[in-house]
Amino acid sequence: MKKKIINKIKSIKWAQHLKSRRLFLSSVFSKYAEFTMVQEELYINNLLLAEKFAYLKGDIVECGVWRGGMIAGIAEVMGKERNYFLFDSFQGLPSAREIDGESELQWHTNTDGDFYFNNCSAEVSFAETAMKKTGVAYKCIPGWFEETVPVFNNANPIALLRLDGDWYDSTLICLKYLFPKVVKGGIIIIDDYYTWDGCCRAVHDYLSQTKSASRIYATEKNVCYILKMEE
C-alpha cells in the first residue's frame, strides 16, 4: 500500500511538472510564433525532445531556417553555453526533382497554396531578429547548402542537428557533411521525414550507404529524429 501511495505521489508530481513545463514552452511558442510555420503543439513537441538532450556538450545547427522561429525556441531550452548556426539560402527552396515525388513537384507549381509561403523564402533579417531575442551566440550562414555546408568548419561537435531542407538533395548533403560531426548520443531532427518523399528517401539512403547503426525514432506527435549510435 505504501509503495502504491509513493508511486501515485510521484505520478502526480510528474504530471504537475509536465503541465508547468508545457505552459513555459507555450510561452516560448508565443514569443516566436511570427517566426515559424510550425503549429503550437508540434512546436512544443520539438522543444520537449530537444531539452532531453540539453545535457550534451556541443553546438546546435539548423539547416532550413525560414524566419528562425524554431531554432530560437530550441535555444531557449538548450541554453547559452553553446553556439548556434543557421543555414539557409534565404531565397526560398531550390526546385524539386523527380526523386522528391509527385506531391513535391505539384507543391512547387501551386504558388497560391496555403503553405507555399512565397517558396519558403524570408530575408535573413527575420532570423536575426528572432535569434537576438534569445541572447545566445549565433551565426546566420546564407547560401545554397551545396555551397555552404561542405565548407562548414567548426571546432566544436554538434549536439543537436535539425534538418528542414524538404528535398532529397538538400537533406542528403546535410547528412553527408554534418552527421559525422554530431556527438555520439546526439540527435538529428528530420522535420520533413513524414511530409516529403524525397526527404525520407535521403535519410534511408544515407544510413544505408554509411552502414550506420543509428536508429530512427518518433515522438508522440511524429517529430522524427535519429539517435546517433556511433562516433
**What is the per-residue pLDDT across 14-35, written as a single tens digit (0 to 9) for each?**
455 566 788 899 999 999 999 9
Check: CB of residue 179 under 8 Å from CB of residue 79.
Answer: no
The CATH number assigned to the domain with range 2-227 reads 3.40.50.150
**pLDDT tens track for 101-148:** 777 656 556 566 655 666 666 899 999 999 999 999 999 999 999 999
Whether 13 has a pLDDT exceeding 50, the answer reads: no
pLDDT average, residue stretch 214-220: 95
pLDDT value, residue 97: 74
Separation between Cα atoms, residue 206 and residue 85, nearest integer Å: 22
Which of 5-9, 59-63, 129-133, 172-176 has the weakest average pLDDT?
5-9
pLDDT value, residue 93: 75
**pLDDT tens track for 91-105:** 877 777 778 777 765
| Amino acid of residue 77 | V
Grid cell 530560437 is found at 72
63 alpha carbon, distance to own chain's centre: 8
How many other C-beta atoms are found inside a 10 Å radius of the C-beta of residue 182? 24
Separation between Cα atoms, residue 107 and residue 127, nearest integer Å: 24
pLDDT value, residue 188: 98
Cell of 182: 554530431
Give me the sign of the Cα torsion angle 66, 67, 68, 70: negative
Check: CB of residue 189 under 8 Å from CB of residue 161.
Answer: yes
pLDDT value, residue 120: 65
How many other C-beta atoms are found inside a 10 Å radius of the C-beta of residue 186? 21
DSSP for residue 86:
E
pLDDT value, residue 102: 74
pLDDT average, residue stretch 165-176: 93
Separation between Cα atoms, residue 74 and residue 67, nearest integer Å: 14
More confident site: 4 or 101: 101
